């Protein structure tokens, strides 16, 4: 480490955001010493070159771009696999076709890998809403018909816990440089019973995106003051403010499009379990107490906390906005999270959104985005009070709790390839190519379905190479870094059946939002009752043990 960098760190007590940036720079210096100057320089050249494909402002990447990037990142494969080594091998890959991302990109990235190795990949493409059901069917019937799967860490209890996944070979760990992962994605994430199964290709946390033009609008500021609004007209930092702003904006006009203005965009339609994360976003600041790692269940009994006053408040907030004419866009009851992000927010509808971090890269590099110049980012809004589940009381203290929703997508190889040495190596080689360090930088910077998840992704200068301006990068990457490293982040439990819990919660929330239950409390009680049945079906004692383990208790 340079003396001046060390002195600067001590002098200004670097924030989490700056510390990550500094760590990346130091890591770069270490790499030069460890790899040798020529090899390090070659890697830097590759990273700089792929970030210019196609370049920020040049439109959405195409299949030709994905193939080009895949070809340029093949060096690690060529170091461990001879040309044509996997001739005759056929692999089946199951993943998402969501928003024309995920599997669509993987096809392009892996075409040059197929051409070099001789292997062939067959694809199973799933919509996000169908993913959980398809995976659970394969597990329950013992008919795993895929060799590689794109899967999130929450499913590790269902898959790795049942012995369905292949343990990662040591050579793969070296090729993908697992030490570069941000800390919260390191073990125990990706492991089960001390064995490693996952190649991370994503980080996943929910961050807060907002329209700066709404908060720089003088007419809104004057109207807010005239209406008796509390405080200045400024970007909200609490859910109470989000709620007030959303009600205030109903009936006004969007400063960018001239269409109806809207505040926060809640997705009111389920998404195969993935939609429940967005109700969690509203709840974590109320429900995740800094002195308690648990927030979804009681760790000693698995009694659900989803019907406690914290979650009920979050549900009530959504119901309150449903009751305000114009607070939400028309037909919001049929808007899932894909709609709120890509068809609404990025397309210029609404002023506030919580979503996974890749909305940030899409804002500047997707043809469908019109908000790239006016979007800002932060961690999830907080609260002026937090519910203590141990005492059953609200505490009057400010609280933030970023939601580490889904812990990121990863690539897993199935145990069914373990009996065939050639197929085993081919499957892990394909997975390692998709999880490569250089390739991951490109997927973080361009629309892919993934967000930054490696320490090396927080080198701002590399993003500027792609055409991002520094202020935007610091804002976008900072919201991710601050969420990953928050001392009170809400960590998702890797327990069997987690998406069964989420899916039934979506079903009951839909009933509540449609007015089929008499109150937010009644809606929450219905979710809790359904969760209790799932726990009993899976086995309460085993769930308690696994839940505690997932929380580090």
* Mean pLDDT of the 471-500 span: 94
* Mean pLDDT of the 108-114 span: 98
The structure's pTM equals 0.88
Q: Which residue has the higher pLDDT, 39 or 454?
A: 454
What per-residue confidence (pLDDT) applies to 37? 59
* Mean pLDDT of the 150-154 span: 95
What per-residue confidence (pLDDT) applies to 551? 85
Phi, psi of 150 (to 5 degrees): -85, 120
pLDDT (tens digit per residue) in 371-406: 999 999 999 999 999 999 999 999 999 999 999 999
Contact by Cβ (8 Å): 452, 458 = yes
* Mean pLDDT of the 445-461 span: 95
pLDDT (tens digit per residue) in 55-97: 998 999 999 999 999 999 999 999 999 999 999 999 999 999 9
Neighbours of 532 (CB within 10 A): 14
What per-residue confidence (pLDDT) applies to 42? 64
CA pseudo-torsion sign 541, 546, 551, 553: positive
Q: Is the pLDDT confidence value at 12 over 70?
A: no
3-state SS, 188-214, equals CCCEECCEECEEECCCCCEEEEEEHHH
What per-residue confidence (pLDDT) applies to 44? 74
Q: Is the pLDDT confidence value at 460 over 90?
A: yes
Q: Is the pLDDT confidence value at 39 over 80?
A: no
Round the average pLDDT of the chain to a whole number and report it: 92
Contact by Cβ (8 Å): 273, 155 = no
pLDDT (tens digit per residue) in 73-82: 999 999 999 9
* Mean pLDDT of the 141-158 span: 94
What per-residue confidence (pLDDT) applies to 6? 26
Q: Is the pLDDT confidence value at 28 over 80?
A: no
Q: Which residues contact 299 (CB under 8 A, 6 or more apart)?
A: 293, 544, 547, 548, 551, 553
What per-residue confidence (pLDDT) applies to 553? 85
What per-residue confidence (pLDDT) applies to 98? 85
3-state DSSP call for residue 387?
strand
What per-residue confidence (pLDDT) applies to 2? 30
What per-residue confidence (pLDDT) applies to 393? 98
Confidence of residue 142 (pLDDT cuts 50, 70, 90): confident
CA distance 501 to 493: 12
Q: Give the Cα-Cα-Cα angle 450, 453, 458 (nearest 5 degrees).
A: 110
Percent of the chain's residues with pLDDT above 70: 92
Confidence of residue 367 (pLDDT cuts 50, 70, 90): very high
3-state DSSP call for residue 144?
coil
Confidence of residue 159 (pLDDT cuts 50, 70, 90): very high
What per-residue confidence (pLDDT) applies to 346? 97
Q: Which residue has the higher pLDDT, 508 or 99?
A: 508
pLDDT (tens digit per residue) in 197-250: 999 999 999 999 999 999 999 999 999 999 999 999 999 999 999 999 999 999
* Mean pLDDT of the 341-347 span: 97
């Amino acid at each position: 480490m340079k003396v001046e960098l060390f002195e600067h760190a001590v002098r200004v007590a670097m924030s989490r955001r700056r510390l990550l940036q500094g760590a990346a720079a130091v890591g770069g210096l270490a790499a030069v010493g460890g790899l040798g100057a020529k090899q390090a320089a070659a890697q830097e050249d590759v990273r700089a070159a792929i970030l210019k494909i196609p370049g920020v402002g040049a439109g959405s990447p195409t299949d030709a771009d994905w193939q080009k990037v895949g070809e340029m990142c093949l060096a690690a494969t060529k170091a461990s696999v001879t040309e044509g080594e996997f001739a005759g091998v056929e692999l089946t890959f199951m993943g998402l076709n969501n928003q024309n991302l995920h599997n669509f990109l993987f096809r392009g990235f892996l075409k040059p890998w197929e051409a070099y190795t001789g292997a062939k990949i067959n694809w199973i493409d799933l919509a996000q809403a169908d993913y959980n059901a398809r995976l659970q069917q394969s597990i329950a019937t013992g008919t795993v018909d895929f060799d590689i799967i794109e899967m999130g860490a929450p499913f590790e209890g269902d898959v790795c816990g049942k012995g369905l996944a292949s343990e990662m070979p040591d050579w793969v760990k070296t090729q993908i440089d697992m030490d570069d992962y941000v800390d919260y994605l390191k073990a125990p994430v990706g492991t089960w019973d001390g064995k490693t199964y996952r190649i991370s290709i994503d980080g996943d946390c929910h961050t807060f995106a907002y329209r700066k033009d709404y908060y720089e609008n003088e007419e809104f500021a004057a109207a807010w003051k005239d209406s008796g609004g509390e405080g200045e007209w400024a970007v909200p930092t609490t859910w109470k403010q989000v709620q007030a702003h959303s009600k205030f904006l109903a009936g006004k006009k969007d400063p960018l499009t001239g269409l109806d203005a809207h505040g926060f965009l809640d997705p009111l339609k389920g998404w195969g379990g993935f939609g429940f994360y967005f109700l969690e976003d509203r709840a974590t600041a109320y429900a995740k107490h800094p002195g308690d790692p648990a927030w979804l269940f009681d760790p000693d009994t698995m009694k659900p906390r989803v019907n406690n006053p914290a979650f009920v408040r979050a549900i009530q907030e959504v119901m309150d906005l449903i009751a305000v004419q114009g607070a939400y866009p028309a037909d919001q009851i049929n808007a899932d999270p894909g709609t709120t992000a890509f068809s609404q927010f990025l397309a210029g509808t609404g002023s506030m959104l919580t979503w996974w971090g890749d909305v940030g890269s899409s804002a500047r590099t997707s043809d469908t985005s019109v908000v790239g110049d006016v979007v800002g980012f932060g961690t999830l809004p907080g609260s002026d009070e937090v519910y203590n589940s141990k005492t059953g009381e609200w505490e009057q203290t400010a609280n933030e709790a970023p939601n580490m929703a889904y812990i990121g997508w990863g690539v897993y190889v199935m145990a069914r390839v373990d009996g065939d040495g050639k197929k085993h190596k081919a499957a892990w080689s394909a997975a390692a190519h998709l999880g490569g360090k250089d390739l991951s930088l490109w997927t973080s910077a361009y629309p892919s379905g993934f967000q930054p998840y490696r320490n090396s992704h927080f080198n701002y200068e590399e993003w500027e190479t792609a055409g991002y301006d520094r202020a935007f990068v610091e804002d976008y990457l900072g919201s991710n870094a601050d969420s990953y490293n928050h001392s009170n982040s809400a960590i998702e439990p890797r327990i069997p059946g987690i998406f069964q819990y989420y899916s039934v919660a979506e079903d009951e929330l839909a009933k509540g939002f449609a007015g089929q239950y008499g109150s937010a409390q009644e809606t929450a009680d219905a979710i809790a009752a359904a969760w209790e049945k799932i726990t009993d079906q899976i086995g309460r004692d085993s769930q308690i043990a696994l839940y505690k383990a997932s929380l580090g208790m």
